[in-house]
Amino acid sequence: MDTNAETLPRPQLAILGQVDADDPSAFNHCFAEVNGIRMHYIDEGEGPLVILLHGFPYLWYMWRRQIVALSGAGFRVVVPDQRGFGQTDRPDSIEAYDMSQAVGDMVGLMAALGETSAVIVGHDLGAWVAQAAAMLRPDLFRGLGMLNTPVPPRGKVKPTVGLQEMAKGRVYHHLYFQQIGKPDRELSSDPRKTLRSIFYSVSGSAVGAERWRLFVEPGEPILNAFTEPEEFPSWLSAPAIDYYVNEYTRTGFTGALNYYRCRDRNWEITAFLDGAVVRQPSLFIGGAADPSLEPVEIRSLYDRLDTYLPGLQTKVLLPGVGHSAAEESVDQVNELLLEFLEQFER
């Protein structure tokens, strides 16, 4: 495995203190050849390693304020664009996005960093990768954090079957995204409208009919489930939105969507994980106003997290917060993460 890492000039966030976190150029951007791809990541601070994984449709950038807080508190904070996202390579084949490859990227990244131990924290899609990494390589990942998405165990039923049963004739977004081409085109037709609509509708700022509708009717476009606000709430600035829009305008959404197209494949290749749990110290931070937790089947995963995570130490739903907890409630998330990380050696 090629672990050559390329590092660009590095500002000292911990020294600057009052860094403008919305400015991407304020961070130390690096690249490494890992697991057959070129991966882009942010690398800040010194100390025990913490890896932060973004969800969909986010990027490394969603963690910008956590990078500042954690690196300033004495941790080495590494935040990649996962494969298919941002400045990291986007392989063509759908199979390149299965969980074995996503975890392989994290193992390769640690080798490139010269590290042998990390706490891994993931949001949304990143929570799936973080959970799998902790389960498959407990020798490398000594702690697990999940934001907003309570990841279930493997289960006895193929994911598409279970999701169809939950949808009851409607279409859940995980199923919608498994279509080839159509969702890619719809999301890419106007990236600014797409991202503003999604980020707003999944947040705690959206109320009533503005909130994300988790199911669409057969034949209905997925963007009908979201509402674009006239003015975006202050927790996501105009420059922040511009960064997301510029990146997705450049890359499109296909790489990101390919993770959803591997849901059944992941289940099929992990029969050996049937009944497995994550025993490392773990943390879950969610939003009490997160629409994704509304289905009874999903909320039950949150309620039973202790069963799947015997080492679970903290499980909290932040009032008024939606699916973008790290951006909507920066101080609370930073405080909870730092409290969890205190137990790991410095």
Active site residues: 124, 323
Radius of gyration of the chain (CA): 19
Taking a C-beta distance cutoff of 8 angstroms, is the pair 265, 297 a contact? no
Q: Which long-range contacts (CB under 8 A, 24 or more apart) does 17-23 make?
A: 17/72, 19/68, 21/64, 21/65, 21/67, 21/68, 22/64, 22/237, 22/239, 22/240, 22/243, 23/239
On the 0-12 / 13-18 / 19+ scale of CB atoms within 10 A, 118 is: buried
Question: How far, CA to CA in Å, does 26 sit from each of 23, 210, 246, 263?
Answer: 6, 34, 17, 36
Reduce the DSSP state of residue 306 to 3 states and report it. helix
Longest dimension (CA), the chain: 55
Residues facing 39 on adjacent strands? 32
64 CA to centre of own chain: 13
Identify the H or E element spanning 7.
strand 5-7
Distance CA 190, CA 221 (A): 14
Question: How far, CA to CA in Å, does 48 sit from each of 56, 62, 78?
Answer: 27, 21, 11
Q: Which two tokens stand for residue 271?
A: 């029969």
Q: Which two tokens stand for residue 194?
A: 């797409």
DSSP line for 160-213: HHHHHHHHTTSEEHHHHTTSSSHHHHHHHSSHHHHHHHHHHHTSTT--GGGS--
